[in-house]
Amino acid sequence: MSASFADGVYAIVRQIPPGCVITYGAIARVLGDPRKARQVGWAMALTPAASEPIPAHRVINARGDIPGGHASRRYRLHRKRLEAEGVVFMADGRVDLERYLWLPSS
């Protein structure tokens, strides 16, 4: 994965408004390569400490799940952050993408 690809991922993630989410695949499509959702995930796993924070908790998978499984520490932390921003989770623990999905305007 190139540094410029990762920088593009982080630039998109920084634009996500509080209370909204985006999927790995949507980020890949915005960057021009819908087949690179996995690489978006790798970039998010390597999110650097930055002077301008990268709100990684707003990036979820296409099913509306926070990666890592519902019993993971990451799930609990990301869910807590999203709930603090006003995101309401469905009974099965997923985010309603029809309600909370954000896509950058072209």
SS3 content of the chain, % helix, strand, coil (to 5): 50, 10, 45
CB burial of residue 32 (10 Å; 0-12, 13-18, 19+): exposed
Q: Are 29 and 75 in contact (CB under 8 A)?
A: no
pTM of the model: 0.91
Rg over alpha carbons for the chain, rounded to the nearest Å, is 13
Domains (ranges, CATH) in the chain?
3-100 (1.10.10.10)
User: Rounded distance, CA 84 to CA 78, Å?
Assistant: 10
Contacts of 53 (CB under 8 A, 6+ apart): 14
User: Rounded distance, CA 105 to CA 102, Å?
Assistant: 9
Task: Note down pLDDT in tens along the chain; length 106 residues.
Answer: 567 999 999 999 999 999 999 999 999 999 999 999 999 999 998 887 766 789 999 999 999 999 887 788 888 999 999 999 999 999 999 999 999 999 998 6
